[in-house]
Every structure is written in C-alpha cells, then in structure tokens.
Structure 1
Amino acid sequence: MKSFLFLLPLVAFAVADEELSEFISGSKQFTGTIYNQLLVDNNDNILVSPFSAETVLALTQSGAKGDTGAEIRTSLHLPDTEEKTEAAIKSVLPSIQSEYCSLITTNKIYVENEYPIKEDFKKVAAEVYQAQFENIEFAKNVEAANEINKWVEEQTNDRIHELISADDLNAYTKIVLVNALYFQGNWSVPFDPISTKPTKFYTSSETAVDAPAMYKKSEKFNYYDSVELDAQVLEIPFVGEEASMTFVLPNKKEGIAVLEKQIDKVLETPKYTKEWVQVVLPKFKVESTIDFKPILEKLGVEKAFDVLEADFSGIAGEKGELAIDKISQKTFIDVNENGVEAAAATEIG
C-alpha cells in the first residue's frame, strides 16, 4: 500500500474576489493532477508540496510570454491571464501566516553577475511575490550551490539540505529561482508520549510492520465517515485552530486504490461533525525528492524547456535566450506527539 502526503497551505483563506477563488480552485486541481502523475512510477511514500512548486512556477510565468506563459498557466490550473495570476498571488502570500504557528514562505532569485534582468520583472517579483534578488557567479558552481543551499537551510529551519547540486550549475546558468516553505505547529491537544507504543501498520492486506503509534483515548474532533469514499476523514487542529492536519483512512486495508481513483473528491472539504474520536496515529518522518520536469512535460509544459521555443523575454533578453533546464523539490515532515514540523523547497534553473 502506498502512502501519499501533501504539504499544502495550511491557513483557510477568506475568498473575496474572483482571481483568488479561481486560484484556490486551481490549486486543488493541480494537487490532484500531481498526485495522479506521481502514482505512475512510485511505490514508496511520497511527500510533495504542490503549493511550493506552484508559487515558484507562477513567478516564472510572470516573465514568460505568449504560448510559453499560457502553457504554464494551463498546466498548473492558474487563472487564465498573467494579470489574474499575479492578483491572486498578491492576495495569497500575505495571508500565509499564523499567530500561533510558524508558517513561512519565501522566494529568492539568484542572478548571474551583471546579467540584465528587466525592470518590469524585478518590480513584479518584489511587489507580488515578495522575492529578493542576489547576484552570484554560477561558473563557480560549488560556491554558488553552497550559497543557495545555505539560504534554503536557513529558511526551512535546517530541514531541507542540498536542494541544488554543483553539477546543476555552470557558466551557461543565468538564473535560479527558489521557493522555501516552512511550517511548525503544536497540536491543540498533544498526545501523551507514555501512550506511544509499537503497533501493527498494514502495508498490504497481508503484510504488516511494527510502527510507533500515538494514542488518544477520546477527544472531540471534526470527523466524517464517507460512504462514497469508503473511508474515515479526521481533522486535527493545531494550537489556535487557524491551521489543521487532515487524515484520510480507508476502511479496508487495500482501500487506498479506491481513494486514488477519486482524488478530487478526497481533496474536497468534508461535511464534518464534531465527534468523540479514539485516535491511533503513526508517529513518522518522511523526506522526499521530486523531479518536476517530467511531470510538467506530461501535463503539457513543453515550450518552457525548449531553447528554440521558450520565451522568457519578460525576464531578460529575447525569445530563445532563456529556457528552463531543471525543476526539483525536496520536502520534509515530522509528525510526533507534540505536533508537526514540515518544510519544502523548490528550485527552477
């Protein structure tokens, strides 16, 4: 049985305009699409942050012209124009904060020394995406990779390491765009470590492994028993109840396949009721590395990777001067008795 986790924005937004509503709806569609693509070649646990990837790709499309930008927006289910996308991002990013949890998302753009970035793109990157610029010498690839990775480590509380390899950089590299996302929240009602004990966790109907399981005898949570999904849905809030984590448990040991076929419905907000629930929850850490380039190619992003077709002239130079070489993401999550710590970083070179 595969186990999949999604690291998403954890704050509920009050939808007040068309662009933001369209962006949030598109984010759910993008998440479902990414899930289905990851199913094809993976049998292990996967942790992915569609939001981190979406943010840095939206930043990239702000400098993409014509069909190059249109392909990115369509594949990511972003609003259908550059202007609408930027309006939505400008509303979302300041909202990703919490009084009670650590919730931080940051963007940074590394630029080859003396490479001329266009002023309009600088303005959008700073004002809409809150991105900082830094000049760097990519030909000194070891030093450049170390500098970028050091910044990522600082933004993710030292949870994401070696996002970028020195081999990814050379004298032809002109720009690297990076998004870093970090979350730390304590459960509103923590689990008692004394109650954590080894428990059978079934990886298939016939195979089980011993895993440390946290236990709560009875607590009132948002709960929904879905007949349609043949699964139970549980929402556990963090302190302050501005953010929460959702768990979806199939009723059958092989039931995850049923959930996978209905991922769009899984991502919908259930009709919760407050119920007294007995909770047995595995205590776990997961780390993952994902190459987004083949995924995006399957979703229809083609011109952005083709040096003859790519048009990022809104960022710098003319059509064909810049093309995307690599998109990769690293993620981390730690679920324990006190709460959850999670981080993600996505880079585009």
Structure 2
Amino acid sequence: MNKFSYIRATSVKDAVQRASTDENALFIAGGTNLVDRMKVFLDEPSQLIDISRLQMQRIEPIAGGGLRIGALVSNTAVADHPDVRRNYPMLSRAILSGASQQIRNVASVGGNLLQRTRCPYYYDTAFACNKREPGSGCPAATGINRMHALFGASDQCIAVHPSDMCVPLAALDAIVEVEGPKGKRQIPFTEFHRLPGNMPQQDSNLEPGELITAVVVPPVPFAKSGVYLKLRDRASYAFALISVAAAIDVAGDSIKDVRLAMGGVAHKPWRPTEAEKFLIGKPANAETFQQAAEIALQGAKPLTHNSFKVELAKRAIKRSLTVSAKGGGVA
C-alpha cells in the first residue's frame, strides 16, 4: 500500500467537506473491496475518511410503506431484517447468495453499491486496462471474456458489475440518497450506475465529494412473491454468470405488473424493460415467459467466450418468472 493519512469523520457534513477538499481522498466503511484494491495499488488514496461510526446504521419504515436502509447497515443486517425477509425476499436471498458470512457481517450497503468490477484484467496490473488507466486498452475484448458483458459494453470496457444486492434493488426501483458539497439529492437506482462508454473508469453518477447516506426501497406489494436466481460456476463464494431478480403480480389468469432485472450481463444491473412491457396483460404461463425471455435477450452481443450466457439467461428468466407466479420461494 501507499502511505496515506487516516481520519475518523464526526458527521456526514464533516466527511463530505474533507472529501470535497481532497480529490484523492476515499471513504472507508467495511472496506471489504477497497482494502483489496489498495493492497495491489489499484487505489492509492492520500487519505482514508472513516465513516463507519456515523449515524447511518438503521433500517426504518417510511410513510406510505417501504424501507429506508442506512448506507452503513451491514449486508447481514439487511438480509436478516424481518421486513426485508417478509416484503422483499428477493433482496434477502440476493445478499445471502453473495460473498461469505464474514464479509457480509462487515460489508456495508453503500459499499456494496460502489464495489468495482472483478474483471481479472482490471486486478492484474501486468495487463492494460482502460478502467484502471484510461486509454491503455481492454485486453478482455480479445482475451478470456467468459464472465463479461452481453449488454451495454463499449470498445473501452466489457466488464460486468459484480453485485448481487444491486440486482433486486434495480428491479424494485430503489432510490439512492446522497449528500455532497451541493447538498442532498436522490438518484433513481437505475440511473446510479453508468455504462462504460468512453469513461470506463467512472462506475457511478456520484459527483466528487458525494457520500451515499441511504437506499430507499419503495412499497411493492407483489414483491413478496419475488425470487432471486443466481447461476454460477460453484455453489458458494462465486460471482454470477447470470442472475435474475423477478417479481410478478398475477390477477386471475393475467399478469398485472412485473419487475425484472439481470446481473452478470452488463456494467450495471440490467432492466429488460421491453420484456416487462410485453408481459403486462399476458397470461401467466410457460409460453408467455419464454417469449419474454426471448425479448429480454434480443439486444445481447455475446463475445468470443460467453455466447452460452444468452441461453442461460433465457432459462433463468423463464424459471424466475414461473416460480414468482406460483407465489415465490427458492428458484
């Protein structure tokens, strides 16, 4: 690691002020991804601003329904919270499918949103990487790209966002609350993360000095039937090849509403909105779900080694929708 100073912030405003006056400062809470990056010199902060003791550690109900989850709530606390397990089971299951119990115990909600890609070319400094050093190239494009993107990639970067938790948050239309030098603002979850474009080094739409303070999950009554399906190379401690968060509201024999998001396919959690629109008013049966899966993957652009993910994603979507339509449970 490089040499850096360490300061414990006394308030959100104190943390923001310190970060806004030092462009090389970084916030640290659980640090489960940041410390890894520092060890291999991917991040070389001038100072670490410790926010771990700030008052952002509560899960609270909000007026009209829904939950406000503080940015410093641990992943374990979110997954185990009775309101999350009862009303947003897809979120609980997504968190429990990621990392180890020890990591979930210290990893924070805000940190989960900001974790960087696990692309091996990004982590291995022997290779060029546009995300690490803009303009240096993307060796994954012509290298081993089995884990990489089907959607939203550019010639600058084909990496995928690694989070499990972020996939159901995107499906649930969550809101990210932030505070920065210009004050407080809210960012729709689907607009929080960026596609790589010509700036692959920038993963989110946070502005300099801004700090995530909470994630608001709105009331979605039919989310109680939500499922999270994660397909991976091994049963434990592996990132998703494909993941799907799905919740469907069936009235009679017709689909009244639906939420759908995919992980492991893009630089951000991916909402197949055309597939969602197609499903409204259709019968909740295998044929409809298969058609929706085909629509969801229409724009996929597989790479040299990941074309198998197209069919895998279709099957995952069909399975998730089927289980949700039957009331939910483990997909």
Normalised-by-shorter TM-score class: under 0.3
> TM-score, structure 1 length as denominator?
0.22
> TM-score, structure 2 length as denominator?
0.23
| Higher gyration radius (CA) | 1
